[in-house]
Every structure is written in C-alpha cells, then in structure tokens.
Structure 1
Amino acid sequence: MAAAAESRRVVGAPACLCVLCGLPAAGKSTLARRIVGTAGELGWRAAVVPYDDLIPEQAFQTEVLEDGIKLQEMHTNWKSHRQAVLHSIGQFLERLDVVAQVQSSSLINSAAWERCTQALLQPEDSKSDGTPLLFLLDDNFFYPSMRYEVYQLARKYSLGFCQVYLQCDLESCISRNHSRSKPVPTAVIQEMEKRLESPNPQKNFWEIQSISLNTTDSVQKVMELISSALKHPLSPVEDNTEQKDTDRLRCATSVVHQADQACRRLISEAMRAARGQWSASQTLFISQLFLQEVPFIQEEDVDVEQVVKRVVGSIFDEQKRDILSRFLYNNE
C-alpha cells in the first residue's frame, strides 16, 4: 500500500485528460498550442499528446476502394497503437523514475513520447506544489468508443476528464489538409466526416464535461472547462454506480421492447386463428341459408329482403356469439 501511494506522487496535484476531437485539419493542433501557452501563464504543467506523431505512419495505411474507405478496418488496425499511447500515459502517472528513464511502448514513437512528457516533469530540485497537470490528447476521436477509453483511464487514476470538439466544415478541412506536409487522403476525411459522432452528453453520461467550438480563438472557454474538470476528478465508485444505472435502464428498455414484440406476435396469431373460424362459419352459414333456412318454392315469390333480415338478425348473430365465446374460452 505504501508503494502504491508513493507511485501516485506524480499525480498528487490536480490532473486532467482533455480530449481534442474533430476532423483532420479542423484546427485541433493550433488550439492545443494556444491552450499550452495559456496554461503556462497560469503556472500549470501542460503537454500535447499528438497521436499523429506518436503512432507510426504505417499504422494508418488502409485500402482505398471504389465505395470509399474501410474505416472500421482502419480503426481496428491502429487500435493497438492507440491503446499503447494510453498505456504510456498510465506508466508516466505511476512511475517515480520518469526523469531518469522515460518508459513507452514499442508501438509508439519513443522520441515523440519523450518530447511530450518533458514539459510535465518537475525539475529534480523542486517539490510538488499542487501545480495542475494537463494532458491534451490531440486526435480525431471520431468514434465515442475511442473517447471512452480515455475516460476509463481518467477514472482509473481519479483524474479530471473533459472533451473539446472542434467543428469545421468538410470543404475547409480538405482545403487546409492539402497544405500539410503529410496530407491525409481526401477520401479518408470524407468517410470520417460521415462516421464522426461528436460528444453527446444526452446519450453518454460520461461526456457531460464537453463543449463544441467553431473557432480556435475560444481558449478562455476551454480553460474554464479544464478548470471545472480539475476541480471535479472522476471517482471510480460513483461512476460505476452511474454506469450500472445506465445498464439497468438499457436492460429494462430491452425487456419492454421484447415483451411488446412477443405480445404483438400472440395477438397476430390470435387474429389469424379468429379469421379462420369466421371464414369457416361464413361458409357454414351460407350453406344453411340455402339448404335449410330458405323455403324456396318455385310457384311462390320470395321476399329476399325479409329472408336476409331474418337470417342475419337471428342465425348469424347466434353463430357470431358462439364463435366469440369459444374463441375467448380457448384463449383464457
């Protein structure tokens, strides 16, 4: 227990994981640099975690088909690399010897990782004075599942967690992307725009600390969000309770839906059975009408209207009541 407490000395001060998400070339990196500058003015330790630099280029390679990009396969291809980034953050938060030896996974660029952690390390001759620690995770994060992994890491270490979604229209992103030294294939951006799911606190309770911006100039709003997240670190116990409540609600909704479907099937089957009985009764009724109930005599005129009224008013009603009573009795 003592060793575990010592290992958390790096995060003894308030710490936060801030997810920057949006399409490629939306302006996330520009916004990240401005946040780091503002954080420095406040005396915070802040660093950008740039996924594009940390994850090897070959991990992003995917086949371009006539019907677009197999984005789900692309997601699976680099999922292990993304997890390695989060694992490295966890290592940094746990280890005491990060100054002497920066640990990272072979799945990410070690040099790039060392650069982004240097700004977070306390000088060897200084002591932790409660200075906030800020990680800015810069990536597209177009699926909620990608962002949820970061949330889980923050929950594990009782860190603050927040998200900033940078809005930008597709045409502008494509135009800016062309000016990059290593542009992303246009088809990838187009397909990503179709799949992108921005933070939705109404759907996902864990995305409550999120804002959407359409400009990189709104640094003040971002700093207010991060400050709020720092003051309200995640609690595994409380958040697990919320998750259980959410799971129970989903389960209840599923039960109601399935029960409704089962009732509909039973009603449909019952109606088909009833229609069958009505059809058979109709045939029998017509037979009785012509063979038994109507005394046709060739020499006499028949009052058709009176015959129909008599048959419908007595014989048919009697058979209708008999069918209904038998049907209801059999289905009790």
Structure 2
Amino acid sequence: MAAEEAAGVRRAPACLCVLCGLPATGKSTLARAVLCPAAQLGWRAAVVPYDELIPGQAFQTRAAEDGTRLQAMQTEWKLHRQAVLQGIDLFLKTPDVSAEQRSSCQIDGAAWERCIHLLLQQPGASDPSPSDRAPLVFLLDDNFYYPSMRYEVYQLARKYSLGFCQVYLHCDLESCISRNQSRPEPVPTEVIQEMVKRLEPPDPQRNSWEAQSISLNTADGSSKCDIQRVTELISSALRNPLSPVEDNTEQKVCQPPPLTPKSVSIRF
C-alpha cells in the first residue's frame, strides 16, 4: 500500500463490499474469514450484518388485506434497510460521533455499536490526518437479491468517492436448504424457494456499475483461494475509487416489482 501511494496511486478512504446470495450460502462465514487477512493488509474492517441490525418484527409475515396495506409494509421494510446505509453514511462523515448518536430506532443499537466499536479499536483509527488513517472496509452481509438493493450501496460509495465491489456467493438450492435447516432460527424453506426465482446476481455486462464483482461457488464452503480473491477484489476497489459524478451514465436500476402477500416481509 505504501509503494502504491509513493507511486502516486490514489487510494479510497474506504470500500463498501457487498456480499450477496441466497440464505445459507456462507456469506457470514466468509465475511468473518476476511477480517484476519484484512487486518494483515492494514485495513480496518467490520462486518455489517443486516440480520442483526434490522429488528425481527420488520420481517414478520403479515397478511395484506389490500394493496395499500401491502405497499405500506414494503415501505417499512425498505426504511429499515436504508437506515443501515444512513448509519454508515453518518460514520463516514463524523467518525468521532458516538455509536449511540449514529444509531436509529430502525436498526438495533447494540448490534450497530458492536460494529462501530470494532472499527474504532483497530490500529490506524486514531491517526491525526485522514489521509494517514487505515482504509475502512465495510463487509455488507445480506441477500441483496435485487440489483436495486445493491445500487443503493453503490450510490453511497459514489457519494464519497469510495471503493465499491460485490461478491456473489452461490451453491445449489438443496445445499442451501440443508444448511439452513441446521440453523438455530432457520428461514422457511418456501422463502428460499421463492427467493431463488427472484434472485438477480451481479451482471457487469448489463450494469456497468457492477464491474467490480466476482462469483464464488460455495457448495463446499469457502476456501483460502476464495478469501484471497475477495481481498484482491477489495484491494482493486480501493485503488479505483468511484467518482461522484452528477449524471446517470450507468444503466438505471428499476425498482423491484411488488412482492406477493405470501412472501412479503419475511426475514431472509
């Protein structure tokens, strides 16, 4: 990293790395595995676990009596997701503000405090000059099954000229269902079956903003090679920060179609 800076290579102050895929593909396991090599590379990294940050009641299955109620439920769920990004946004602007002040009633304050505390305690966090501080790496752990969900993260990265990248984890449906059933709180099987129909993996050929993306087959778990590929991807994203351009030259992302009453507001 020092050699790159000496050569005049611009480095982003942070990178937003999206981990996406079906439930039980190993996103959380991979995110935790990346923390150690990230520290060795001089990065301050933390996992942003959406399952822990977003309150459970936001994902409870509820019957929709009419279209208006269904739309209201979708709006509520989206607000919780946006609150996570708003927390990251505020941390990027004012890292010295307490975690309590950065939290929102729409995300779990204790979970958010654990995430931020980890970043503030790592070496390089207290360097006086922002340019000298170790780069931040946020590993966003969620399904992100629609491009529009991932595009919101991209927009935040572009706002601050950060690095942005995506890691798509995939394995066969049967393996996902089997792993899920061994969890303390498994996701309903029908939810996974429904999500596989809706999942839209990163597509760099269709969406130029998804260029920094890789795909990992995790049917047999994550390997050392997989972890290395992720760290190399993040390193590339840090070396190639986004520009906060005002136009929308990249392909616009359509909002997802309304969910059916059977699958709305179910925790993924």
Q: If the length of structure 1 is used for normalisation, what is the TM-score?
A: 0.64
In the alignment, what sits opposite 2:255? none
Amino acid at match of 2:161: S
Q: CA separation of 1:96/1:141 partners in 2, compared to 1, >3 Å: closer, same or farther?
A: closer
Q: Which residue of 2 aligns with 1:104?
A: 103
Instruction: Describe the superposition over 1:256-276 as per-residue Cα deviations: whole angstroms up to 9, x where unpaired.
Output: xxxxxxxxxxxxxxxxxxxxx
Q: CA deviation at 1:117?
A: 1.0
The one-letter code sitting in structure 2 at the alignment partner of 1:81 is H
Distance 1:139 1:165 in 2: 11
Q: CA deviation at 1:186?
A: 0.8
Q: 1:16-59 CA deviation, whole Å, 9 max, x = no partner?
A: 00000000011000000111111012221000000000001111
The reply on whether 1:197 has 2:200 as its aligned counterpart is yes
Query: For the structure 1 residues 56 and 96, does the alpha-carbon distance in structure 2 shift closer, same or farther, using more than 3 Å as the test?
Result: closer
Q: Is the 8 A contact 1:60 1:77 kept in 2?
A: no
Which whole-Å CA distance do the structure 2 matches of 1:100 and 1:19 have between them?
22
Q: Measure the CA separation in 2 of the matches of 1:157 and 1:193.
A: 33
The structure with more helix, counted as a fraction of residues = 1
Q: Give 5+ residue unaligned stretches, structure 1.
A: 1-11, 66-70, 248-332
C-alpha contact 2:21 2:27 (8 A) present in aligned 1: yes
Contact 1:20/1:28 (8 A) holds in 2: yes
Equivalent residue number for residue 235 of structure 1: 243
Q: What amino acid is the match of 1:40?
A: A
Residue 128 of structure 2: aligned partner? 127
In 1, are the aligned partners of 2:164 and 2:241 still within 8 Å (CA)?
A: yes
Superposition deviation, residue 93 in structure 1: 0.8
Q: Give the 3-state SS of the residue equivalent to 2:104 in structure 1.
A: coil
- The residue type equivalent to 1:242 in the other structure is T
Distance 1:64 1:175 in 2: 28
Runs of 4+ residues deviating >6 angstroms: 71-74
Change (3 A) 1:88 1:170: same
The one-letter amino acid of 1:117's match is I
C-alpha distance in 2 between matches for 1:75 and 1:146: 13
Instruction: Give the aligned partner of residue 298 of structure 1.
Output: none
Q: Pick the aligned partner of 2:209 from 206, 209, 228.
A: 206
Equivalent residue letter for 1:212: S
Structure 1 residue aligned with 2:37: 38
How far apart, in 1, do the equivalents of 2:185 and 2:49 lie? Answer: 15
The CA distance in 2 between the partners of 1:195 and 1:13, in whole Å, is: 33
SS at match of 1:199: coil
Q: Which residue is equivalent to 1:223?
A: 231
For residues 67-105 of structure 1, the C-alpha deviation after alignment (integer angstroms, 9 at most, x for no partner) is: xxxx99875441110000000100111115335755111
Please show how residues 235-314 of structure 1 align to structure 2 within 5 Å. 235-237=243-245, 240=247, 242-243=249-250, 246=251
Superposition deviation, residue 168 in structure 1: 1.3
Structure 1 distance, partners of 2:74, 2:82, is: 12
Residues 12 and 238 of structure 2 are in contact (CA less than 8 Å); yes or no, is this contact kept in structure 1? no
Within 5 A, what are the aligned runs for 1:43-192?
A: 43-63=42-62, 76-99=75-98, 102-121=101-120, 126-128=127-129, 129-192=132-195
Give the aligned CA root-mean-square deviation in angstroms. Answer: 2.4
TM-score (structure 2 length as normaliser): 0.78
What is the CA–CA distance in structure 1 between the aligned matches of 2:71 and 2:170, rounded to whole Å? 22
Tell me by how many angstroms 1:130 deviates: 3.4
**Separation in 1 of the partners of 2:45 and 2:233?**
15
Deviation at 1:62, TM superposition (A): 2.0
The alignment-based identity, stated in percent, is 69
- Alignment correspondent of 1:260: none
In structure 1, C-alpha distance between the alignment counterparts of 2:174 and 2:99, rounded to whole Å: 46
Output the CA distance in 1 between the equivalents of 2:32 and 2:56.
Answer: 22
Which protein shows a greater Rg? Answer: 1
Aligned to 1:19: 18
* 8 A Cα contact 2:127 2:133, kept in partner: no
1:225/1:84 Cα in 2 relative to 1: closer, same or farther (>3 Å)?
Answer: same
- Whether the aligned pair in 1 keeps the contact of 2:21 and 2:143 (CA below 8 Å) is yes
Determine if contact 1:13/1:131 at 8 Å carries over to the other structure: no
Q: Distance in 1 between matches of 2:61 and 2:214?
A: 31
Instruction: Work out the number of aligned pairs and report it.
Output: 228
**Separation in structure 2 between the aligned mates of residue 212 and residue 74 of structure 1, nearest angstrom:** 32
User: Aligned to 1:213, what secondary structure does the other structure show?
Assistant: strand
Is the 1:61–1:74 Cα contact (8 Å) retained in structure 2? no
Cα pair distance change 1:80/1:99, threshold 3 Å: closer
CA drift of 1:242 comes to 2.4
